[in-house]
Chain A
Amino acid sequence: MPVTLLDRLPLPNLKVYSAGSVLLLSVAMYYAVNVTSDPNWKANTTLQKQETASGIVEGEAAKMVQPAVTAVIAEPPMTDTKNFSDQFLEVMTFMMQEPLCMWTLINMAYCSLALFGFFIQKVVFGRLRVSEAQRVKDKFWNYLFYKFIFVFGVLNVQYMDEVLLWCSWFTLVGFLHLLGQLCKDRFDYLASSPTSARWANTRVLCLLMGILTAASALFMVAIVWGLPAGKDTFAFMAAECLLLGVSALHVLARFTLRAHDADAAGPAAYYTHLVFDAVSLVTETIHVAHMVVYSNVVVSMASLVLLMQLRHLLYAMLARLRRHRLYTALSSHMSRNYPMASAEEVLKHEDNCAICWEPMKEARKLPCSHLFHNSCLCRWVQQDASCPTCRRSLTAGGEARPAEPPLTGPNHLFHFDGSRYVSWLPSFSVEVTRRAGVDLGPGLAAATATAAAARPAPDAAAESTALVEQVQRLFPQYPRALLVTDLAVTRSAHLTIDNILEGRLPPPPPLRPAVAPAPAAPDAGADSPPLSDELDEDDSAENAFSATAAEREAALQRRKAELRAAARARFLRRRPAPAPAPAERSPRS
């Protein structure tokens, strides 16, 4: 549930907030020191202290001793004869009892946590990317919302000190969750960036280790303090720790998988993800279900929200299960019907995988003899059961059903433009796309029947004739025999056209009769390397691809400006003056 509305609240930035907090703290300290400098202050203040309250608050206080100490040092030296530490203790005791001072201390604790988070962000991540910042913001508000529901709707806490305890717990857990989210996003980014930044990886890894350690520390806290408070409390706390640990471990596992260069759709990677997804989904579902049971399901806003969340989780689980079924069905289908290409075949192929444009160490071979990475092919076939290069249908009745019937349902678009009504209302649009699943049913059923059977010869002949005609329509000057030979290799009109366009196919005899008849052996066409277009490249230095993003962006801007300027100059040269014919007025909109 993204809370867009909250984005528009005027929240103070960190600088203002921390300055304000420090100011507040100093004022409170000053007040406390003033009051406690009177030796009889204990008698003066009305002591409505409950032993439990101060005991609980101590936990909170432990965290704030640090900032408090610095603030005390900043204070002018006391003229009192009293020992400094005694004085400090007294000040603290007073502040614990005085509600206003205590709130100031709590505020300061949050402020220092925010500063700490900011520090970690600066050290580990540097500047956040836009999407990362957005994701963290969303997660933060979501988290706040659900924990608010939890504390006031589920636990239904009555006492201020209990609220404070839960708040500090969730603050810490949430803080770690946000850091974990950042790690995950940053890992995705690092994994996909073309340059491997070892140092950035190490920092993220260190932070992940830190998160894991903190999660186990929190688990200890849950055992020490949660367990005596009751099994339910302990279960709630433990589930939070578990979720935190699992998400951190998942990112770590992905680091490991990538370090070992694992195939992204291979079984090892797939089952690792499956295990992590399953554990976190099941834990979260149980956690929420526990909350529902604990809150005694009375009809209230809280239980409604929880049930919605539970529904969402169940759907996520079902979707995951369906994906798993699809995966197993697909992988068995592929391994049964499309064998892995032999080593020589892969070597001879020498092109990159046409889907991801990366070199192939091993490949799967389709009946049309096009090669792809196993994982790439897997992902494509989930979407459309045809060969990406030549479009031959991969479902068994390929020729029987020439065009895949479009199975997509209608798309619904709902747009809400809030700013039309009130300026601060958010605008959003929801698009529901129903995408047809893989058409595996008939494919799988018939697959076994046709697995061994070779492609019927007449079909193949008809198909290749059609391809030749398709190419010849575009390039009538090319001799038919040449096209047939090239198509026999490429088996795709697209590829042959590419070959012609990029000069890999020997040019046809010019129509003038004086020149040599046919081009060389037609065989040379497909295999000959691309003509050396490096020589034609007049300014290759100009077109260099820089290593850094900033340089590339600048180069792109420059090239665009040059293209525009050149086009303009060319246009003006061709039509020197704006056409002076007064009769012709072009329509203006």
Chain B
Amino acid sequence: MMAGSALRRLMAEYKQLTVNPPEGIIAGPVNEENFFEWEALITGPEGTCFEGGIFPAKLVFPPDYPLSPPKMQFICEMFHPNIYADGRVCISILHAPGDDPMGYESSAERWSPVQSVEKILLSVVSMLAEPNDESGANVDAAKMWREDREQFNKIAERLVRKTLGLPPPE
């Protein structure tokens, strides 16, 4: 029964994202046999070091979605203070109200059923633009972001080129 309402809601969200897509974002189930696994493409926000890149990510929904949040993981190489080395995204909107791995988020920022795939992806875009220093999912990236922005930008540029299938700058 659970999975039924989850599927209906996912279908509604998919429809909304298809008919009325937010700029630079595409998301949907790759194979509708499994509606609980989506792939999303996120365009790097303009005016940031990730500008122009197309970053693919995987979204895995729980059977009781939208009561529990999906899990999101980039499937391309990423270097960002709030993204783990394996691509998992660390933002508060993706944390269930119960769990608080970092122990500082207020429950108002966490997952609630009124959130949606679109809101998650928009949050991720703004996370790409403005990393959150406090949650260090990738400590090296956080340090470099603070101390050596030029080097960080170079790495970002290489990643952007990689996602576009272009060779790294000479």
Contacts and interface: CB of A to CB of B under 8 A. Distances in A.
Interface of A: 129-131, 188, 191-194, 254, 264, 354-358, 376, 379-380, 383-384, 386, 388-389, 391, 403-404, 406-408, 435-436, 494, 533, 537, 540, 543-545, 549, 552-553, 555-556, 559-560, 563-564, 567-568, 570-572, 574, 578-582, 584-589
Contacts of B155: 586-587
Contact of B164 (A376, A384, A389, A568): A568
Given A355-B114, A570-B52, A579-B169, A406 B100 contact: yes
Contacts of B4: 188, 191-192, 264
Nearest to A389: B114
The 6 A-B residue pairs with the shortest CB-CB distance in the complex, in nearest-first order: A192-B7, A192-B4, A549-B32, A384-B97, A355-B113, A354-B114
19 contacts: A192-B4, A264-B1, A355-B67, A356-B9, A357-B12, A383-B67, A383-B97, A406-B98, A543-B18, A544-B19, A555-B18, A556-B29, A560-B39, A563-B54, A567-B43, A570-B52, A571-B166, A578-B166, A588-B158
Contacts of B3: 188, 192
Nearest to B164: A568
A130 B24 CA distance: 32
B70 interface: no
Contacts of B157: 586
Contacts of B11: 194
Nearest to A556: B28
A403 B9 contact: no
B34 A130 contact: yes
B80 to A, nearest CB: 15
A38 B85 CA distance: 80
B167 interface: yes
Given A408-B98, A584-B169, 5 more contacts: A130-B33, A383-B68, A391-B108, A403-B106, A406-B98
B136 to A, nearest CB: 20
Nearest to A546: B18
B53 interface: yes
B8 A192 contact: yes
User: Which of B99, B106, B165 is most buried by chain A, counting CB atoms within 10 A of its CB?
Assistant: B99
A563 B108 CA distance: 34
Nearest to A498: B119
B41 interface: yes
A587 B21 contact: no
B41 A564 contact: yes
Interface of B: 1, 3-9, 11-15, 18-21, 24, 26, 28-34, 39, 41, 43, 52-54, 64, 66-68, 77, 96-100, 106-108, 112-114, 151, 154-155, 157-158, 160-161, 164-170
Nearest to B160: A571
A435 B97 CA distance: 11
A553 B31 contact: yes
A194 B29 CA distance: 15
Given A264-B1, A357-B12, A380 B113 contact: yes
Contact of A543 (B20, B31, B77): B20
A494 B119 CA distance: 11
B42 to A, nearest CB: 10
B20 A533 contact: yes
A19 B68 CA distance: 49
Contact of B97 (A386, A556, A567): A386
For the complex, would chain A's binding face be called helix, strand, loop or mixed by DSSP majority?
A: loop
Given A376-B113, A571-B52, A406 B165 contact: no
Nearest to B1: A264
Contacts of A552: 14, 18, 28, 32
B52 A543 contact: no
A379 B65 CA distance: 11
Nearest to B167: A578
Nearest to B169: A579
Given A408-B98, A567-B52, A587 B164 contact: no
A555 B30 CA distance: 11
Nearest to B79: A589
A358 B19 contact: no
A572 B33 CA distance: 37
A582 B41 contact: no
Nearest to B105: A403
B164 A582 contact: no
Contacts of A587: 151, 154-155, 158
Nearest to A537: B20
A564 B112 contact: no
A584 B7 CA distance: 50
A384 B67 CA distance: 9
A545 B154 contact: no
A567 B164 contact: yes
B56 to A, nearest CB: 8
Contacts of B29: 553, 556
A395 to B, nearest CB: 12
Contact of B170 (A191, A264, A570, A578): A578
A585 B24 CA distance: 29
Given A406-B100, A545-B15, A563 B24 contact: yes
Contact of B26 (A376, A533, A560, A572): A560
Nearest to B103: A406
Contacts of B106: 403
A567 B67 CA distance: 35
Nearest to B42: A563
A497 B98 CA distance: 25
Contacts of A388: 112-114
Contacts of B113: 354-355, 376, 380, 388
A589 B21 CA distance: 35
Nearest to A187: B4
Given A567-B54, A568-B164, A582 B67 contact: no
Contacts of A380: 67, 113
A351 to B, nearest CB: 11
B52 A384 contact: no
B164 A553 contact: no
Contacts of B168: 586, 588
B169 A264 contact: no
B52 A358 contact: no
B40 to A, nearest CB: 10
Contacts of A544: 19
B112 A545 contact: no
A563 B41 contact: yes
Nearest to A544: B19
Given A358-B8, A560-B41, A553 B169 contact: no
A391 B112 contact: yes
A19 to B, nearest CB: 30
A130 B37 CA distance: 13
Nearest to A195: B11
B164 A571 contact: yes
A283 B13 CA distance: 42
